Amino acid sequence: MPLIESTYRAPSWLPGPHLQTIAAARLVPLPRVQYRRERWDTPDGDFVDVDFAAPEPADPGAPVLVLFHGLEGCSQSHYARAVMRAAADRGWRSLVPHFRGCSGEPNRLPRAYHSGDSAEGDWILRRVHERFPAARLHAVGISLGGNMLAKWLGERGSDASFVTAAASVGSPLDLAAGGAALARGFNLVYTKMFLATLRGKALAKIARFPGVASAEAVRRSRNLHEFDNAYTAPVHGFRDTDDYWARASGKPWLRAVEVPHLVLNARNDPFVPAASLPRAAEVSRFVHLEQPAAGGHIGFARGGPPGDLGFLPERLFRFFEEGR
């Protein structure tokens, strides 16, 4: 399917990818969202905390939206609040399942979460579908969550058809390219922010489960490649970072997707090099590629200062409701 011509244009007061990224996350006013939390016990003896946005529709057949957050994100992330607010205003049931360790409480097992954990995504989506079988089910993944979702869609093929439509936004579908980008230049500012929480969580796990990984290697990690080599890869069954990034990347799976799938990436995303983005020849006919020139990493602010985050939810719901 050919590239969609995007309607997104960055406002003139937000020039450049970094300002577009940071302003959306830190400066643009966020909508108020109230959540009701449920704790779901997982088959392996752990738990996932799931936040449902209020108000929740009384109709069990109301459309459902599941949002998978990004690296170290949660239901309070700027993109989650923007999308959840829009979903609730439309009368949809919307929820954010937290990846393990991201809900504000450590999970029970040594394992955490990773970009290719499509088995976890499968379990969550099937549980939602079983609970609301009469509802149209939609899924959106942001950044890391979108890579996981793309991989799941490709792996499952037609077996994923209980999901009506899906979207991956700002997702590093080539994890090696994204990891390399985050290891240089100004992007090290973002890397330092991620590592501040990732290292702390990993060291706490190592203290609880001695021998699961090397605390010294985690402390020495200066970028995501080194951190994933020290913790993510060995704890989750990968040989090393390169093995993890190769096996977990969603891009190779886009040819096998059989559910309508919007893949939205800003071409100036500092986390995701434009050269790594999927091309029309690399995806199935179900995949809709949209690559606006600007937007930063999950930015997409619009309007005059201080701006708003309405573009992303409007774009998602147009795709979910109209298929375009």
Cα–Cα distance, 289 to 1 (Å, whole number): 8
Told to judge if 129 belongs to the known catalytic residues of this protein, a careful annotator would answer: no
CB atoms within 10 A of CB 247: 15
Cis (ω within 30 of 0) for the bond into 306?
yes
Which residue in the list 98, 138, 225, 297 is annotated as catalytic?
297
Phi and psi at residue 66, to the nearest 5° = -105, 125
Which residue in the list 118, 143, 168, 249 is annotated as catalytic?
143
Told to judge if 41 belongs to the known catalytic residues of this protein, a careful annotator would answer: no
Cis (ω within 30 of 0) for the bond into 260?
no
Cα–Cα distance, 249 to 266 (Å, whole number): 18
Query: Hunting for tokens 């976890």 — which residue is that?
Result: 120
* Beta pairing, strands 47-53 & 93-97: antiparallel
CB atoms within 10 A of CB 200: 11
Which residue in the list 171, 269, 276, 288 is annotated as catalytic?
269
Residue type present at position 57: P
> What amino acid positions are annotated as catalytic residues?
143, 269, 297
